[in-house]
């Protein structure tokens, strides 16, 4: 394939609170894009690299206390490694990266949730990633009570963030919505209470022009 025929990489991030349905929509989106002939990389933060898996175990499952600032720095370190070694190379090859969580999650969880300075959190991650921005961010919005019901039905071990109290998750949701409102051209906000196929259709409709144009 000649250089001029190589599709341009496309970076799509999926955000939302725990239990919102991000994994389901990432899988549906990957299947749709793969059917069009694009090469797909599905990944997540933290945990998208071997280094990230170690960070994920620390920040989500460590039994010891982790200070709020240390937590934020660990997420940024994971993000720096992940973008440099996995995401950027995939985009340079013309692939589509579908990523579960990115900088907006840190601003919401460590900024609003932990009551740190969201601006500082964002600047830290932008430095770590050399300013890489998604072509589209999908925010799956779901109220905390509904999300908690889903997590309870899943009968899984809650991680450190999932186990936080209701007011923490309320702050996180409000932060996500505020971020999306301030950067509406980058965001698609969908109602996480809708049936998965309806949400998927909304995502495909918004993403289709980017797929045709090549994104980046």
Residue 140 near residue 190 (C-beta atoms within 8 A): yes
Report pLDDT for 107: 98
What domain range is 143 assigned to?
3-213
Residue 45 near residue 79 (C-beta atoms within 8 A): yes
Report pLDDT for 171: 95
Residue 121 near residue 156 (C-beta atoms within 8 A): no
Into how many domains does the chain fold? 1
The Cα 109–Cα 90 span in angstroms is 27
Report pLDDT for 214: 57
Report pLDDT for 3: 46
Identify which of 189, 194, 147, 192 has the alpha carbon closest to the alpha carbon of residue 166.
Answer: 147
Which of the residues in the chain have pLDDT under 70? 1-6, 154-157, 213-216
Report pLDDT for 155: 61
- CATH code at position 144: 3.40.50.300
Report pLDDT for 147: 76
Write out the chain in H/E/C secondary structure.
Answer: CCHHHCCCCEEEEEEECCCCCHHHHHHHHHHHHHHCCCCEEEEECCCCCHHHHHHHHHHHHCCCCCCHHHHHHHHHHHHHHHHHHHHHHHHHCCCEEEEECCHHHHHHHHHHHCCCCHHHHHHHHHHHCCCCCCCEEEEEECCHHHHHHHHHHHCCCCCCCCCCCHHHHHHHHHHHHHHHHHCCCCEEEEECCCCHHHHHHHHHHHHHHHHHHCCC
């Amino acid at each position: 394939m000649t250089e001029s025929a190589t599709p341009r990489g496309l970076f799509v991030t999926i955000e939302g609170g725990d239990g919102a349905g991000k994994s389901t929509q990432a899988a549906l989106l990957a299947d749709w894009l793969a059917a069009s002939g694009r090469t797909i990389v599905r990944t997540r933060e933290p945990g998208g690299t071997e280094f990230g898996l170690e960070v994920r175990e620390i920040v989500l499952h460590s039994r010891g206390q982790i200070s709020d600032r240390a937590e934020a720095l660990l997420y940024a370190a994971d993000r720096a490694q992940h973008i440099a070694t996995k995401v950027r190379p995939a985009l340079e090859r013309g692939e589509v990266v579908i990523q579960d969580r990115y900088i907006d999650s840190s601003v919401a969880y460590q900024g609003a949730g932990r009551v740190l300075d969201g601006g500082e959190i964002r600047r830290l991650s932008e430095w770590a990633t050399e300013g890489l921005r998604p072509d589209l961010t999908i925010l799956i919005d779901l109220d905390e009570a509904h999300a908690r019901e889903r997590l309870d039905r899943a009968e899984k071990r809650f991680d450190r963030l999932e186990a936080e109290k209701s007011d923490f998750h309320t702050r996180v949701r409000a932060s996500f919505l505020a971020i999306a409102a301030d950067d509406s051209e980058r965001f698609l906000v969908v109602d996480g209470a809708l049936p998965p196929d309806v949400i998927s259709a909304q995502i495909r409709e918004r993403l289709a022009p980017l797929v045709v144009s090549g994104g980046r």
